Amino acid sequence: MNKKDLLPILLLLVLFLAYPTIDRKFISRIFPAKEKPVPTAQNAAAAPDLPAETTLTAPAPTPMLEAAVAPEPAELEAQAPDLPEEITILRNEKLELAVSSHGAGIVRAAILGYPATRGAAAPVTFDFEDHPALSISGVLAANAPFKPVAASGRTASFRKVLAGGLELVRSITLGEGYQLDVKDQFTNPTDNVLRLSGYGLNAGFMGNLPDEKMDRVPLLGVDTLTGSQSVEYWGAKFEKWFPNLDRGIQAQTVPGPMEPAQPVDWLAVKNKYLTQIITPETYAEKATLFVKRGAPLKTTAMLFFPRTSYPFDVVSATLTLPEQAIDPGRTLTHSATFYIGPKVYADLKANGPHQEDILQLGFWRPIGILILKIMVWFHDHIWPYNYGLAIILLTFLIRIIFWPLNHKAMASTRHMQAIQPLMAGLKEKYKNDPARQQQEMMALYKEHKIN
Model pLDDT for residues 404-440, shown as the tens digit of each residue: 988 888 888 888 888 898 888 888 888 888 898 899 8
Name, in order, each residue with C-beta under 8 angstroms of 19's C-beta and a sequence gap of 6 or more. none
Whether the pLDDT of residue 144 is over 60: the answer is yes
257-298 pLDDT tens trace = 656 678 899 999 999 999 999 999 989 999 999 999 888 877
User: CB of 336 within 8 A of CB of 301?
Assistant: no
Residues in the chain: 451
Residue 96 host element (H or E): strand 95-100
* 390 touches 375 (CB < 8 A): yes
* Residue 303 pLDDT: 63
Q: In whole numbers, what is the pLDDT of the chain averaged over residues? A: 81
Q: From start to end of 321-386, where are the E strands?
A: 324-326, 331-342
Grouping H, G, I as helix, E, B as strand and the rest as coil, residue 189 is coil
Nearest to 293 by CA among 346, 238, 332: 238
pLDDT digits (tens, 9 = 90+) for 27-70: 545 544 444 333 333 333 333 333 333 233 333 333 334 333 33
pTM score, whole prediction:
0.73
Q: CB-based contacts of 383: which residues, under 8 Å, 6+ apart?
A: none
Q: What is the pLDDT of residues 357-383, one digit of tens each?
A: 999 887 787 888 888 889 889 988 998
